Chain A
Amino acid sequence: MKEKAEDEIKVVIYQSEKEMPPVAMSVANTLYNKTGSWKYVQPIYQNKTPPCNAGCPAGENIEGWLVLVGKGELSEALQLLLSENPFPAVCGRICYHPCEKACNRWKFDQPLSINSLERFLGDYGLKEGAPPPPPTGRKKERIAIIGSGPAGLASAYYLANMGYRVTIFEASDQLGGSLRSRYPRKRLPEEVVEGEIERIVNRGIDVKAGIKVGHDISFESLQRDYQAILVATGDQRSKILKTEGEKAILSGLEFLGGAGVKYGVKLGGEIAIVGEEEVSEREVRSTPRIITDPMGATDEKGVFACGDITFIPRAINHEVGSGKRAAMAIDSYLKGEDIEKKIELIKIGEGESVSMRSYLTGVVKGVNKIVRFEDLNLDYFEEKPRLLKPEMLAKGALVKEEIAIQEAERCFHCGVCNQCDNCYIYCPDLSIRRRKDSKGYWIDYDYCKGCLICVHECPRNAMSYEGVVK
Chain B
Amino acid sequence: MKKILMGNHAVSYGALLSRVEVIAAYPITPQTQVVEELSEMCAEGKLKARFINVESEHSAMAACIAAEQTGARAFTATSSHGLTLMHELLHWAAGARLPIVMANINRSMGPGWSIWTDQNDSLSQRDTGWLQIYCESNQEVLDSIIQGYKIAEQILMPVMVVLDAFVLSHTYEPVDIPEQELVDEFLPKLNYPYKLDVKNPCSFGSLLPPEYYLELRYKMQKAMEEAHDVIIQVDREFQQMFGRSYGGLVEEYRTEDAELILVASSTVASTSRVVIDQLRDEGVKVGMLKMRFFRPFPTKEVTSVLQGARKVAVIDRNISYGQGGIFCEEIRSVLYNINKKEKPPVFGYVAGLGGRDITPTTIREILFHTLKEDKPKENIIWTGVKH
Is B113 engaged at the interface, CB distance under 8 Å to the other chain?
A: no
Task: State whether A25 touches B194 (Cβ < 8 A).
Answer: yes
Question: What is the bound-complex CA distance between A27 and B204, given in angstroms?
Answer: 10
Interface string of A22-35 (1 = CB under 8 A from B): 11111100000000
Which residues from chain A contact B96 at a C-beta distance below 8 Å? 23-24
Is A191 engaged at the interface, CB distance under 8 Å to the other chain?
A: no
- Looking across the interface, which residue of chain A has its beta carbon closest to that of B155? A22
Is A135 engaged at the interface, CB distance under 8 Å to the other chain?
A: no
Task: State whether B203 touches A20 (Cβ < 8 A).
Answer: no
Task: State whether B218 touches A17 (Cβ < 8 A).
Answer: yes
Is B216 engaged at the interface, CB distance under 8 Å to the other chain?
A: yes
Question: What is the bound-complex CA distance between A132 and B273, given in angstroms?
Answer: 111
Question: What is the bound-complex CA distance between A26 and B201, given in angstroms?
Answer: 9
Question: What is the bound-complex CA distance between A24 and B220, given in angstroms?
Answer: 12
Is B219 engaged at the interface, CB distance under 8 Å to the other chain?
A: yes
CB contact between A17 and one of B97, B202, B204, B219 (< 8 Å): that residue: B219
Question: What is the bound-complex CA distance between A117 and B215, given in angstroms?
Answer: 73
Task: State whether B216 touches A23 (Cβ < 8 A).
Answer: yes
Taking the nearest CB of chain B, how far is it from the CB of A346, in angstroms? 55
Task: State whether B206 touches A20 (Cβ < 8 A).
Answer: no
Question: What is the bound-complex CA distance between A21 and B223, given in angstroms?
Answer: 13
Question: What is the bound-complex CA distance between A26 and B207, given in angstroms?
Answer: 10
Interface string of B207-240 (1 = CB under 8 A from A): 0100010011011100100000000000000000
CB contact between A26 and one of B206, B215, B218, B220 (< 8 Å): that residue: B206
Which residues from chain A contact B204 at a C-beta distance below 8 Å? 23-26
Taking the nearest CB of chain A, how far is it from the CB of B322, in angstroms? 33
Question: What is the bound-complex CA distance between A20 and B209, given in angstroms?
Answer: 14
Interface string of A8-51 (1 = CB under 8 A from B): 00000010010011111111000000000000000000000000
Considering only CB atoms and an 8 Å cut-off, how many residues of chain B contact the other chain?
18
Tell me the interface secondary structure of chain B in the complex.
mixed
Is B205 engaged at the interface, CB distance under 8 Å to the other chain?
A: yes
Question: What is the bound-complex CA distance between A20 and B208, given in angstroms?
Answer: 13
Which residues from chain A contact B202 at a C-beta distance below 8 Å? 25-27
- Looking across the interface, which residue of chain A has its beta carbon closest to that of B202? A26
Is B263 engaged at the interface, CB distance under 8 Å to the other chain?
A: no
Taking the nearest CB of chain A, how far is it from the CB of B66, in angstroms? 14
CB contact between A14 and one of B97, B206, B215, B223 (< 8 Å): that residue: B215
Task: State whether B215 touches A24 (Cβ < 8 A).
Answer: no
Which residues from chain B contact A23 at a C-beta distance below 8 Å? 96-97, 194, 204-205, 216
Task: State whether A21 touches B194 (Cβ < 8 A).
Answer: yes
Task: State whether B194 touches A20 (Cβ < 8 A).
Answer: no
CB contact between B205 and one of A17, A21, A22, A24 (< 8 Å): that residue: A24
CB contact between A20 and one of B95, B97, B212 (< 8 Å): that residue: B212
- Looking across the interface, which residue of chain A has its beta carbon closest to that of B203? A26
Is B156 engaged at the interface, CB distance under 8 Å to the other chain?
A: yes
- Looking across the interface, which residue of chain B has its beta carbon closest to that of A13? B211
Which residues from chain B contact A22 at a C-beta distance below 8 Å? 97, 156, 194, 216, 219-220, 223
Interface residues of A (CB under 8 A from B): 14, 17, 20-27
Given contact pairs A22-B156, A26-B206, a sample of 5 additional A-B residue pairs in the complex whose CB atoms are under 8 Å apart? A20-B216, A24-B95, A24-B96, A25-B202, A26-B203
* A-B pairs with beta carbons under 8 Å apart, 25 shown: A14-B212, A14-B215, A17-B218, A17-B219, A20-B212, A20-B216, A20-B219, A21-B194, A22-B97, A22-B156, A22-B219, A22-B223, A23-B96, A23-B194, A23-B205, A24-B95, A24-B96, A24-B204, A25-B194, A25-B202, A25-B203, A25-B204, A26-B202, A26-B204, A26-B206
